Amino acid sequence: MTIRITKHKATEDFLKLVQEKADVNLSSCYQCKKCSMGCPVADLIKLPPSEVIRGLQLGAGTELLNTDLIWTCLSCETCYSRCPNQINFPAVIDALKSIALEKGAAKPAGDAPLFNRLFLNTVKSYGRVYELLAIAMYKLGTGNLKQDMGKFPMMLKKGKIAILPPSGANKDKMKRIFSKSAQNKGTEK
């Protein structure tokens, strides 16, 4: 796939922002493409890891926020593990994700941001993940109630998923961590 790059001041800032957030130096990439060769979702996406890096090197900006790799990535870390220059590409993906969330980029296939938000909401409330609630809310939120419904009775019967919410966590500490994180986000902007 080709991406059209319009180079201007804003895109230079974009590269800088991504590199800062991910704590990487993308100029050390010499396009050996080992990351793309080992990527387990390379056949499903338009722009594999090495091309996302090339795009950033050449000054691509917010157009990368809608690239399909961002929310298709499995966080398997194979790219990072095999990179001869130790570029932490999964951190680049995380940086692009958080910028996409801040800028309100288009909702990706599967709506992982919704799932992550619901997952973290249960962590905020209970101190630990309440799997059943996060999954149920996600299924409601995406309107995909039918998928997996057949599995739940058996999983519940076998005790493969808990019905009751988790207990025993230090919830006050969780509140503090989440509120600090929200505060810091406010000052970063």
d(CA 32, CA 96): 22
CB-nearer residue toward another protein: 10 or 162: 162
Longest distance between any two alpha carbons in the chain, whole Å? 59
Among 98, 136, 145, 186, binds another protein (CB under 8 A): 98
Query: In 3D, which of 3, 14, 29, 15 has the Cα closest to residue 88?
Result: 29
104-143 residues in contact with another protein (CB under 8 A) are 109-113, 115-117, 119-120, 123, 127-129, 131-132, 135, 138
Query: In 3D, which of 48, 124, 135 has the Cα closest to residue 92?
Result: 48
Q: Is 162 in the site for another protein (CB under 8 A)?
A: yes
Q: Which stretch binds another protein (CB under 8 A): 9-17, 46-54, 55-63, 169-177?
A: 169-177
Q: Do the Cβ atoms of 70 and 100 come closer than 8 Å?
A: yes
d(CA 140, CA 138): 5
CA distances (Å), origin 68, targets 91, 109, 170: 16, 9, 38
Tokens, residue 186 = 């406010």
53-82 residues in contact with another protein (CB under 8 A) are 71-78, 80-81
Q: How far is the CB of 162 from another protein (least distance, A)?
A: 4
Footprint of another protein (CB under 8 A): 21, 23, 40-41, 44, 71-78, 80-81, 86, 88, 91, 94-95, 97-98, 101, 109-113, 115-117, 119-120, 123, 127-129, 131-132, 135, 138, 147-148, 150-151, 154-155, 158-162, 166, 168-170, 173-174, 176-178, 180-181, 184-185
